[in-house]
Structure 1
Amino acid sequence: MVDLWDVRREYTQGRLDESTAAEDPMTQFHAWFEDYRATDPIEPNIMTVATVDADGRPWQRVLLLKSYDQNGLVFFTNYDSYKGQHLASNNQVCLHFFWLEKERQVQIQGRVSKLSREDSGRYFHSRPRQSQLGAWASQQSRPIADRATLESAYADVSERFDGQDVPLPEYWGGFQVTPERMEFWQGGAHRLHDRLEYSRSDVVWSKQRLNP
């Protein structure tokens, strides 16, 4: 057995209080996101995305948040990937942000809906050309013989679209997550963490403190 009992640190960087936290959770999210981005992390928009498959098994993977506003949070993927298949049959999703430098976590539960093809296309064509070609070369989540096969597929699509714009694949696009519950966690000394939970009824948000 690998004993990790002595791997421990105290969290002392801040406090989170229900009396001063924003009434709207997306406003609070924006404040924390900008505060974290000011620490100059590699990619402040890294998040874990959890889905559930047809057998009820949870899956997680790390993706990049690409935009957000009061309506929700947006990420992009191959719709035929495992996560795309999961969301097609169960549109409930959980996002999780862990901002270690600030000793903070944000957890978001909600439902996804596909972005319009126009909105997906605008983002797709803002990506580096190599990434656009990669979306065509990779049949995400499907078995593949070896790395050489993938590189050959990339070479093929690169030649196919040589001298022209790379079109948006039919199977690729964005999801918008409409939050229904958001929880903000601020690490505290002696494991007395601060947790605020926002839950939505129709368009009205309520917030409450949770025990750590």
Structure 2
Amino acid sequence: MFEPDTDNPFALFDRWYREASESETNDPNAMTVATADADGRPSARILLLKDFDEHGFVFYSNFESQKGRELTINPFAALCFHWKSVRRQVRVSGPVVRVGDGEADAYFNSRPRGSRVGAWASQQSRPLADRDSLMAAVEKADKEYPGENVPRPPYWSGWRLTPLAIEFWQDGEFRLHDRFRFTRAVEGEPWKVDRLFP
């Protein structure tokens, strides 16, 4: 049986994340990111969490991609982490804002050069004639930005989701799972904790 031993969901997430990092064979920072368009039609995809603290969860993307356009129109998102090895799940939801240029530049510059060149070459989410067209765009960007100094494209940056709800789920025998949801109305308020039926 699982009972949270803290009223700080970020501390609990940090502990669960570190435990998952020791047992997940691939990408313990993988998460489903769900967004919705102006008509409320949802879409979801797997991204990698790149940073988190008490201000929120950070991921990066092309602003001109489907998720980028949807987050610009409807700046609210949901995340879901599933760590099969430890039979746990964490769901997070709240408003999103773009990270600052300095933070985005620092992360972009930490990426391998090929990934930085690829950010210039990819018109993410838009139709692509064929693989050769993509590789030609990569070659063009590679020539345009020789060496290690590949600047961050103006349409590429990060998003920070500031949670208003974080739910922790621990698998239980006979599907009698333990679920706890932390909620608050706005950032900075104390968290309310509820146990939920499985």
TM-score for both structures, normalised by structure 2: 0.96
Counterpart in 2 of 1:16?
Answer: 2
The counterpart of 1:85, out of the listed 69, 75, 78, is: 69
- Alpha-carbon distance in 2 for matches of 1:131, 1:211: 43
Counterpart in 1 of 2:174?
Answer: 190
- Alpha-carbon distance in 2 for matches of 1:142, 1:25: 37
The counterpart of 2:146, out of the listed 140, 144, 162, is: 162
Residues 1:96 and 2:64 are matched in the alignment: no
C-alpha contact 2:113 2:148 (8 A) present in aligned 1: no
Q: What is the letter of the counterpart of residue 32 of structure 1? A: W
**Superposed structure 1 runs of 4+ greater than 2 Å apart:** none
- Structure 1: 5+ residue runs without aligned partners? 1-14
Q: What is the letter of the counterpart of residue 66 of structure 2? A: Y
The counterpart of 2:127, out of the listed 143, 156, 159, is: 143
* TM-superposed deviation, 1:41: 2.4
1:1-212 to 2 correspondences below 5 Å: 15-17=1-3, 20-163=4-147, 165-202=149-186, 203-212=189-198
Q: What is the letter of the counterpart of residue 44 of structure 1? A: P
* TM-superposed deviation, 1:76: 0.4
Cα-to-partner distance string for 1:24-48 (whole Å, 9 max, x where unaligned): 1111100100111111521110000
C-alpha contact 2:51 2:58 (8 A) present in aligned 1: yes
* TM-superposed deviation, 1:21: 3.0
- Alpha-carbon distance in 2 for matches of 1:165, 1:26: 35
* TM-superposed deviation, 1:201: 3.1
Larger Rg: 1 or 2?
1
* TM-superposed deviation, 1:57: 1.0
Cα-to-partner distance string for 1:1-52 (whole Å, 9 max, x where unaligned): xxxxxxxxxxxxxx321xx432011111001001111115211100000000
- Alpha-carbon distance in 2 for matches of 1:132, 1:44: 23
Question: Among the aligned pairs, what percent are the same residue?
Answer: 43
Aligned CA distance change for structure 1 residues 164 and 39 (closer, same or farther; 3 Å): closer
In angstroms, what is the RMSD of aligned CA positions? Answer: 1.0
C-alpha contact 2:24 2:83 (8 A) present in aligned 1: no
Shifted more, 27-36 versus 196-205: the winner is 196-205
Tell me the matched-pair count: 196
Cα-to-partner distance string for 1:110-167 (whole Å, 9 max, x where unaligned): 1100011111000000000000000000010111111110000000100111135111
Aligned CA distance change for structure 1 residues 163 and 36 (closer, same or farther; 3 Å): closer
TM-score for both structures, normalised by structure 1: 0.90
- Alpha-carbon distance in 2 for matches of 1:56, 1:21: 37
- Alpha-carbon distance in 1 for matches of 2:14, 2:69: 30
- Alpha-carbon distance in 2 for matches of 1:101, 1:25: 21
Shifted more, 156-165 versus 102-111: the winner is 156-165
